[in-house]
Amino acid sequence: MGTYTTVKNRILQLLGEKNMSIHKLAIESAVAPSSIKNILYGKSQNPGIVTIKMLCDGFGITLIDFFDTQEFKNLEQEIK
């Protein structure tokens, strides 16, 4: 699994865990719903760290919480 897919899956997981809709996350994070949808549906495959930080703020978690999963720990190097 690649980095983009891992980020997308983590956002979807957190939406489920926090029982949040895309709209609610957009309000809480000050990230436009269209930007969130672009990440989730593949139009934006390289979201910036500032955007991810804003999403974390909306979820009420830290960047460390976001990336501290087995999926991120198991990611292979992108450039070989």
Helical segments of 1-80, H only: 3-17, 22-29, 33-40, 49-59, 63-67, 70-73
- Total-model pTM: 0.92
Closest CA to 4 of 54, 38, 34: 38
Tokens 């949808």 identify what position? 37
CATH number of the structural domain 3-73 = 1.10.260.40
In 3-state terms, what secondary structure has residue 35?
A: helix
Domain boundaries, the chain: 3-73
Mind listing the pLDDT tens digit for each residue in 2-60? 899 999 999 999 999 999 999 999 999 999 999 999 999 999 989 999 999 999 999 99
CA distance 35 to 11: 13
Residues in CB range of 21: below 8 A, 6 or more apart: 15
Q: What is the pLDDT of residue 78?
A: 77
